[in-house]
Amino acid sequence: MEEKSTNPVVTVYFDGVCQLCSKEIDYYKKIAPGRSFEWIDIARNGDALREQNISQQQALLYLHAKDFSGKIHVGVDAFRLIWKGLPRLKYLGALLGISPINYLAKAIYSRFARLRFQRSKHCDIEFLKSNGFTD
């Protein structure tokens, strides 16, 4: 009998200082199967995406996720990747594959992310450095 391989790891780069973001990621962690995700707090690990030429500020602005092949997904596309890997939310991931829904979700998320970023003091890189969150 052939043994099924484990799911490839998806790496999620999230803003761990943002309370809303942290609550959402904590929920995902609770429902995620096995070791299918790696969770990296980009507010405390500013260099995590340096190899992909993504600054800490860019990573704080939008959710980022890296799939098993190394491709980076940003914003709604990152949520879609995450949700497709969560049995309880896989249908939401599928819905985001429908063009009109994807387009609308991207417009809404982009606006929300920019407002959150502008209003969050910790998204100022100098604030993060001066408070010991990043190197």
What are the residue ranges spanned by the domains of the chain? 10-130
Contact 112, 63 (CB under 8 A): no
Q: What is the pLDDT of residue 74?
A: 97
Report the chain's mean pLDDT, rounded to a whole number: 87
**pLDDT tens sequence across 16-40:** 988 899 999 999 999 999 889 999 9
| Tokens matching residue 134 | 């990043």
In this structure, the number of other CB atoms found within 10 A of the CB of residue 64 comes to 25
Residue 127 pLDDT level (bands cut at 50, 70, 90): low
List the beta bridge partners of residue 74: 64
Report the C-alpha gap between 32 and 10 in whole angstroms: 11
Closest CA to 62 of 21, 25, 100: 21
Report the C-alpha gap between 89 and 124 in whole angstroms: 32
Q: What is the pLDDT of residue 5?
A: 42
Residues, the chain, total?
A: 135
Residue 134 reports pLDDT greater than 90: no
CA atoms within 13 A on the CB side of 127: 8
Closest CA to 14 of 130, 119, 116: 116
Residue 2 pLDDT level (bands cut at 50, 70, 90): very low
**pLDDT tens sequence across 55-92:** 988 999 999 999 999 999 999 999 999 999 999 999 99
Report the C-alpha gap between 26 and 92 in whole angstroms: 18
- Give the mean pLDDT of 39-47: 92
Contact 39, 25 (CB under 8 A): yes
- 3-class secondary structure, 64: strand
Q: What is the pLDDT of residue 126?
A: 59
Global pTM value: 0.83
Q: What is the pLDDT of residue 125?
A: 56
